[in-house]
Amino acid sequence: MTLDTVNDRGLVLLGCGKMGSAMLEGWLAQGVKPGAVWVIEPSPSDWLRGTGVHLNVDLPTAPAIVLLAVKPQMMGAALPQVVALGGGKTLFLSIAAGTTIASFEATFGAATPIIRAMPNTPAAVGRGISAICGNAKASESDLRLAEALLRAVGQVVRLEGEHQMDAVTAVSGSGPAYVFHLIEALAAAGEAEGLPAPLAMQLARATVTGAGELAHRAPEAAAQLRINVTSPGGTTAAALAVLMDAETGFPPLLRRAVKAAADRGRELGK
């Protein structure tokens, strides 16, 4: 299936908050017709009202795909609105963290093709990355359709199986928050060294976003980019001696943080 299939048969978006809106904006920019999109959203934004999509009206009987974009804690109340579309003709694509494929099969039926995806918030600027995996009923064409829709907001990777999803959630799903906290911490450290707070934040924010863009564009590995900045015995080397400490530096700290996020994902999936 392709985006032409979406235009022919329709797409249902259940939930249109920040992530859903980012994805919808990307789809429309890629040629999905507003008239081929049905959105269920109890609190629609002014932007959503102006897109021309079908908003909070009766759904088509057999759309190509239903994208589940509501928060996990709201899933129980939201799913009854689309449960009649289960059974095999419609692909269901979920971007809800911690909600397993098995739980969706229990709701929509084992014959329903289901794909689980984990995007992240840089999707809002077209720089996200999503990881996907499907159940036994999800065909290669289903996976390609999911990839086409998710590429509207960034990169897409396929997983070996759902067992990898909690680790993905901990690395890329939650990862933007780690980077934002790095900006906060770097700015606070600049303040501690005597910089005014606004200047420290400007320097930290530009440094992290600029380094991220360099990592995105450069052919070198991240380790080589780090080496390129580091003069032996210089200021960067002094800082890295602290940050790369095997017991108190970034490596053990991030291992603990990612493990905590992955463990929490596993708890939510039970």
**Calculated CA dihedral for residues 66, 67, 70, 75, nearest 10 degrees:** 50
- Does 133 belong to an annotated binding site? no
CA angle, 205 then 210 then 214, to 5°: 155
> Across the chain, what does the average pLDDT equal?
94
- Which of these three, 168, 195, 223, is where a domain ends? 168
Last residue of a domain, one of 148, 168, 188: 168
pLDDT band for 96, please (50, 70, 90 cuts). confident
Pairing of strands 65-68, 11-14: parallel
Say how far apart CA 213 and CA 80 lie, in whole Å: 42
Identify whether residues 28 and 152 lie together within a single domain: yes
Q: In CATH, what number is assigned to the domain containing residue 89?
A: 3.40.50.720
Residue 265's pLDDT band, with cuts at 50, 70 and 90, is confident
Distance (Å, whole) CA 30 – CA 11: 14
Distance CA 92, CA 114 (A): 5
- What is the token pair recorded at 87? 């059974």
Q: Is the pLDDT of residue 269 over 80?
A: no
Q: Which of 215, 50, 67, 223 is nearest to 152 (CA)?
A: 67
31 annotated to a ligand binding site: no
**Taking residues 140-144, what's their average pLDDT?**
95
Is the pLDDT confidence value at 71 over 90?
no
DSSP H or E stretch at residue 255 = helix 250-268
* Tokens read off for 82: 């689309």
215 to 62, 78, 218, 222: CA distances (angstroms)? 43, 39, 5, 7
Has 70 been labeled as part of a binding site? yes
**Domain limit, last residue, from 168, 186, 220:** 168
Answer yes or no: do 126 and 256 share one domain. no
Count, residues in the chain:
270
Quote the pLDDT of residue 76: 84
In angstroms, the CA 28 to CA 9 distance is 16
Banded model confidence at residue 1, pLDDT cuts 50, 70, 90: low
32 has which bridge partners?
none
Q: For residue 5, what is the DSSP state?
A: H
Is 72 one of the annotated binding-site residues? yes
The reported pLDDT for the residue numbered 221 is: 97
Residues 17 and 53 in one domain: yes
Task: State the pLDDT confidence band at 18, using cuts at 50, 70 and 90.
Answer: confident
Q: pLDDT at residue 132 above 70?
A: yes
Could you read off the pLDDT of 154-202 as tens digits, one per residue?
Answer: 999 999 999 999 999 999 999 999 999 999 999 999 999 999 999 999 9
CATH number for position 179: 1.10.3730.10
234 annotated to bind ligand: no
pLDDT for residue 258? 97
- The pLDDT of 43-52, averaged and rounded, is 95
Q: What are the pLDDT digits (tens) for 210-261?
A: 999 999 999 999 999 999 999 999 999 999 999 999 999 999 999 999 999 9
Q: Does the annotation place 56 within a ligand binding site?
A: yes
Same domain assignment for residues 160 and 264: no
Is 71 annotated to bind a ligand? Reply is yes
pTM of this prediction exceeds 0.85 = yes
| H or E element that contains 157 | strand 154-158
Per-residue model confidence (pLDDT) at position 88: 87
Query: 228 is in which domain, residue-wise?
Result: 175-268
Share of residues in the chain with pLDDT > 90 (%):
84
203 among annotated binding-site residues = no
Whether the CB-CB separation of 11 and 37 falls below 8 Å is answered with yes
